[in-house]
Amino acid sequence: MSDTRQLRSARWERIRQRGIWRFVLLRGVLAWGLSMSIIGIIFEHVSRKEEAFPWYFILGLCLVAGFVWGLATWFVSMRIYSRAPKAG
């Protein structure tokens, strides 16, 4: 196994040991959901449409989407990790 693969595998193992809910909260809800909501709120404000969505709607929608994204990313990563050849 190459050094890069070993590093990635070791990194994922540390993330996996911390648990699914920490990953979903930090990587999904906070990292993805919050950043997307900030971008969405800015775009809605800049567009100045009369039928613009309120900021709290965008925030809630993006946080829920971040939760779903975090879960999906966790399970895809777990599948990739389980299929990776093990060192040894």
3-27 residue pLDDT tens: 888 888 889 999 999 999 999 999 9
47-70 residue pLDDT tens: 877 778 899 999 999 999 999 999
DSSP line for 17-35:
HH-HHHHIIIIIIIIIIIH
Q: How much of the chain is helix, strand and coil, in % rounded to 5?
A: 85, 0, 15
Tell me what percent of the residues of the chain surpass a pLDDT of 90: 64
Q: Tell me the C-alpha distance between 56 and 22, whole Å.
A: 24
pTM (two decimals):
0.84
Q: Confidence band (pLDDT; 50, 70, 90) for 87?
A: low
Instruction: Check residue 50 and give its pLDDT.
Output: 78
